[in-house]
Amino acid sequence: MKTITLSKENIYSHFVRQKGYGRQALYVHIYNVKGCPDQAVYVQDVFPNVEEGLNLHTYEYSSSDDDGNYFDYSGNKIDSDKIFDTIFEGVVAMVSGMEVEVEEYTH
């Protein structure tokens, strides 16, 4: 096993798996990183889904006022650093800097 730091340079997609009771496990696919094959790496549990578990929003589902403040459908103000063009961009931003263990090549 080898420890790497996640970043936008080594993550190319994400997915979730159901873990029961509304929890989902978030995984990211990483590019081949110096001696490690492309692989899916567990990051963390998210409840009840990625958007809410990481408190992410996209511009598509947010509204703004004349002052440039953003709000969700319930009228709650959203911090601008939690709004992204896509959920994938948000996932990358939220997990960048995390250290994870990955498998190394055995040859």
Domain ranges for the chain: 2-98
| pLDDT confidence of residue 68 | 76
Statement: residue 34 has pLDDT above 80 = no
Residue 72: count other Cβ atoms within 10 Å of its Cβ.
13
Provide the H-helix boundaries in the chain.
Answer: 50-53, 87-95
**CA count, 13 A, side-chain hemisphere, 34:** 5
What confidence tier does 35 reach under pLDDT thresholds 50, 70, 90? Answer: low
What confidence tier does 106 reach under pLDDT thresholds 50, 70, 90? Answer: low
Task: Please state the pTM of the whole predicted model.
Answer: 0.80
Statement: residue 107 has pLDDT above 60 = no
